[in-house]
Amino acid sequence: MTATAKEDSDRDTETTPWRSTLLVMCVAQLFSIVGFAFVLPFIPFYIREIGVTDEKLVPVWSGILLAASSLTMTIFAPIWGFLSDRFGRKVMVERAMFAGAFITMAMGMIDNVYQLLALRLISGAFTGSISASISLVSSVLPGTRMGLGLGLMQVAVFLGMSVGPWIGGMIADIIGYRLTFIAGGVILLVGGLLVLTGAKEKFIRPSAESLKQGGSMKTLFAMPGFISLLVVFFIFHFSINIAIPILPLFIEEVGHLKTRVASTTGLLLAVSGATACISAAAIGYLSDRKGHKKVLVVNLFITSLMWIAHALSRNISQLLVVRILFGFAAGGNLPTMNALVGKLTPKESYGKAYGLMASMTSLGMTLGPLFGGIMASYAGLRWPFVIVSFLLSFIMIPIILRLKVQ
């Protein structure tokens, strides 16, 4: 994006109540993530309850179910991004949150793993609240507040990932898995209502000429570094999602747990989310001043070391310390990655740009859990963490260093 275009973009935001919209979106994002994260600690255990009794198949099905929604999101995310550039970003956020609410409730009413798979596929097609929210917030933020604003949004994500699994795990241990899905859906519904009533967007539908000159897919792909960023988003989410489906099982194994498995898993997921909350906004603020690329590279390197530390953990106490440090390291990764997207693309293309990034994110989230689940079933639960560290350090960081952006 040229300096003149960026200045025009910043002037446009002065007429938009970006502070109040940012606040509403942070709170709504918190509710949205809590609703989704409510069920994270016990997906592998819910699989057992609805009929998967072969223990070797549990991590495989965990990977398949996590991958399913990501697969359909890979297909639909660019379509929603395309529509948001033409009809507004706020309506896309509402679509994602309300769809997520009703689909999550339905997951608590199924009879077998195949019905759960079908709902996960539908969920991926119609949800995607994070990318939709980031697109909306990016469109109202001044350019000089991009890192800080997206950092605050990431705080909401991490806080939701912290509170959601912990509370959801405790509730699941008390009232069962099915009612916890219903509770998660209700929380998502509240998030959608907050966006509907509180978020402001001064959206002016771009002219056909404007879309042709600055907002076409061809223009985006021709921008220096844009394709590299797509690759970066894919590698990042492929890597971390190798570990996601097996993390609850790893916690169960390391802790030799027989009871309170869901709540213990939720607690360990919560502590990293809590420390990430502390670092996300601070690192976003720092990246606005020191450069997004430089800060991202340092964060990724430290994050890769923390994944090795996961593999070396031998008990719950060690894993707790690792999760705390992991949160501090990982908190700034996504805010700085999203800020780089905002710096590289013109505002009229934010919907398509973040939609394409969401598509690469979803593709990574599709293939990562499948790879991680299959690998864990044959090589054990520790090796996936080592592979994640390798991909971040030796594949992703070199690509970022070649980007012609700060």
- At 362-375, the pLDDT tens digits run 889 888 888 988 89
Sorted by sequence, the CB contacts under 8 Å of residue 201 that are 6+ apart come out as 16, 21, 88, 89, 90, 136, 139, 140
Predicted TM-score (pTM) above 0.95: no
| Residue from 10, 11, 34, 30 nearest 22 by CA | 30
Residue 187 has pLDDT above 60, yes or no: yes
Task: Pick the more confident residue, 205 or 350.
Answer: 350
CA geometry: angle 127, 133, 138, nearest 5 deg: 145
For the cut 60, the answer to whether the pLDDT of residue 42 exceeds it is yes
111, 247, 298 from 35: Cα distances, Å? 21, 20, 31
DSSP-assigned letters across all residues of 151-168: HHHHHHHHHHHHHHHHHH
Q: Regarding the domain delimited by 3-199+219-401, which CATH topology (the fold level of the hierarchy) does it fall under?
A: Growth Hormone; Chain: A; (1.20.1250)
Q: What is the pLDDT of residues 234-270, one digit of tens each?
A: 999 999 989 877 888 898 888 887 777 777 877 887 8
Structure confidence at residue 2 (pLDDT): 45
Q: Residue 388: CB partners within 8 Å, gap ≥ 6?
A: 239, 240, 242, 243, 304, 307
C-beta atoms surrounding 46 within 10 Å: 25
Query: pLDDT confidence of 95, banded at 50, 70, 90?
Result: very high
Q: How far apart, in whole angstroms, are the C-alpha atoms of residue 308 and residue 329? A: 13
DSSP 109: T
Classify the C-alpha dihedral 240-241-243-248 as positive or negative.
Answer: positive
What average pLDDT does this structure show over 95-120? Answer: 94
Structure tokens at 27: 């709170």
- pLDDT tens, residue by residue, 53-77: 888 888 888 878 878 888 898 899 8
